[in-house]
Chains A and B, each alone.
Chain A
Amino acid sequence: MAGPVIEIQSLTKRFGGTTAVDDLSFRVEPGVVTGFLGPNGAGKTTTLRSLVGLVTPTSGRATFDGRSYRELEQPLRTVGTALEAASFHPGRSGRDHLRVMGAAAGLPTGRVDEVLEWVGLADAGRRRVGGYSLGMRQRLGLAAALLGDPGALVLDEPINGLDPEGIRWIRVFLRDLAAQGRTVLVSSHLLSEVQQTVDRVVIISHGRLAYEGTLDGLEAGATARVHVDAPDREGLARALQAAGAQVDAAADGLHVTGLDVDAIGRHALAAGVPLRLLVPQREGLEDVFLGIVGEGEIR
């Protein structure tokens, strides 16, 4: 199966005076899991709702292989969508919710029981959704997305509310779907949540594109830092600054950027300063992510 290419082109959406999405463009390729990241309020949900025709963009386009969601002949068979505010009638059973959607898409009822089985709701399917836990609602939302066996999956915060077992399950599941050639777009406000699942990331902040590329590319943006200490801390700092490094005083030693551990060791030896500590530190991906989206804005 080859999923469609999702393309967001110069998408802008204003609600009254506020701009939720601002001239946003990116591509989502089939065969890999793409993470769609940004802090809460960055415009992720508005972008995804514009993509599936629930929100009319102020300008720009969002398409699947060149066609907007409303132009799709068989929307549920092309795109499976699970949005964060997974919305169910509390008095309707999970199975009936899927039957209602399936009927609108002309899908056989047998398909409903199949997807309920997949997401582990075979037993709970006939109970009213009002009694479901958050994790069960997430699973039902995912079942609804899978109903039409679509080539593309658009999932808004699918990991929210899942227990650890559920999180492991969905990771494997999303990877399998991508391995089958489907296009998988998964949003999250936490990089760490999807880090082990996604191959590519699209990061937005304030409705604008902040980064688009691989996780490795994001990691390359991380700055390397070395944590050193010596009984003669001032002497060490002088020697390293003379060698061209940037040295910042820390409570438990010095933070050095611009020199790697080998070079620091050589310069310390040459200056005759015995070291007490020499530890390379790598800024975490999460720090890079926070740096990109602007740490201060996170609520």
Chain B
Amino acid sequence: MLRSLHSELLKIATTRAWWVLALILFVWTGFNAGVIALLGGVLVDEANGMFGPEAVPPLVYSTVTSVGYVFPLLFGALASTSEARHQTLTPTFLATPRRGLVLGGKLGAGIVFGAIFGVVGLVASAGLGALVLQLVGVDPGFGSSDTWALLGRALLAMALWAVIGVGLGVVMPNQVAVIVTVLAFTQFLEPLLRLGTAFWEWTAAVGRFLPGAATDALVGSSIYALVSGGAVDGLEWWQGGLVLAGYAALFLVIGGLTTWRRDVT
């Protein structure tokens, strides 16, 4: 298993996809964090009483997941599907014919690189974000253990999203199909579903289990939570984490039992 993990880590590190995606994550998260920090700083002064300055930093820092989670997801999906696309499953399974070990290695490599994505995204959201907060005169809140707990949970969320991507890529080995699915679901379908399910109580109870909603529950803050509000209490942070882990496990098991066992021709 350790050998397989080593091989999978090398596999990712020796191609360009991961740092290209990490770079885009950094820029996009940094941009969003900066804009929200700026707006938050201005609005705190304007709308005194609506929310205090202590509400702003979590919103800024959680942009790593609220806008950035799609990047570890795409990364994981690309890492899995590139094997099918470039037919590298042949050398992979020649070196490790017990395919379950390969899947285990991919799971581990997904966690490691997902965490790296988390660090990169947090440097953008909490690093750049805090700089902007200080410029507009809001306390970045690094003295509070709550802030650090949020950053830690965001890191965990990013790692889990990379594993969900790895699993999704195994279920759906067609690279184009998986990219379209990821973008359509995260950018269009899930936001609509979250908005739609918020209308009634019983749908809201189901909507909490949508992966994006579970992520917000895990991290504990999100710009989306402001927009949608809720008639139903969200999940606890650990429940959100379990839901994400559940999606990852579901995809890995389904993929492992179907496409992963196929003939490699």
A residues sitting closer than 8 Å to B (CB atoms) are 45-46, 49, 52-56, 69-70, 72, 75-76, 81, 83, 85, 87-93, 96-97, 99-101, 103-106, 144
Contacts and interface: CB of A to CB of B under 8 A. Distances in A.
Contacts of B197: none
Given A55-B264, A89-B15, A103 B6 contact: yes
B3 A100 contact: no
Contact of B97 (A69, A99, A106, A144): A69
- Sorted from nearest, which 4 A-B pairs have the closest CB atoms? A87-B87, A104-B7, A104-B95, A96-B14
Contacts of A56: 261, 263
Interface residues of B, number: 28
B10 A99 contact: yes
Interface in B1-57: 3-4, 6-7, 10-11, 14-16
Contact of A104 (B14, B15, B89, B96): B96
B259 to A, nearest CB: 14
A93 B90 CA distance: 17
Given A49-B263, A49-B265, A93-B14, A87 B94 contact: no
A188 to B, nearest CB: 19
| Chain B residues touching A, majority SS | helix
B262 to A, nearest CB: 9
Interface string B198-231: 0000000000000000000000000000000000
B10 A100 contact: yes
Interface of B: 3-4, 6-7, 10-11, 14-16, 82, 86-98, 105, 261, 263-265
Contacts of B16: 91
A72 B97 contact: yes
Given A85-B90, A87-B87, A76 B95 contact: yes
A85 B88 CA distance: 10
Contacts of B15: 89, 91-92
Contact of A105 (B11, B82, B95, B263): B95
B86 A90 contact: yes
Contacts of A93: 14
Contact of B93 (A53, A85, A144): A53
Given A88-B88, A101-B91, 10 more contacts: A54-B263, A76-B94, A85-B90, A87-B87, A89-B88, A91-B15, A92-B15, A100-B10, A101-B94, A103-B3
Nearest to A106: B3
A87 B90 contact: yes
Contacts of A101: 7, 91, 94-95
A76 B93 CA distance: 10
B3 to A, nearest CB: 5
A264 B196 CA distance: 98
A87 B82 CA distance: 12
A191 B4 CA distance: 39
Contacts of B97: 52-53, 69-70, 72, 75
A43 to B, nearest CB: 12
A126 to B, nearest CB: 11
Nearest to B102: A104
Contact of B7 (A52, A87, A103): A103
Contacts of B263: 49, 54-56
A90 B15 CA distance: 9
B14 A75 contact: no
A100 B11 contact: yes
A89 B4 CA distance: 18
A17 to B, nearest CB: 16
B96 to A, nearest CB: 5
Contact of A88 (B10, B86, B96): B86
Nearest to A13: B263
B10 A55 contact: no
A225 to B, nearest CB: 42
Nearest to A87: B87
Contact of A96 (B4, B10, B82): B10
Given A87-B86, A87-B87, A89-B88, A54 B14 contact: no
A106 B10 CA distance: 13
Contacts of A46: 265
B7 A100 contact: yes
A85 B87 contact: yes
Contacts of B89: 87
- Point out which of A49, A88, A100 has the most chain B C-beta atoms below 10 A from its C-beta: A100
Nearest to B6: A103
Nearest to A45: B265
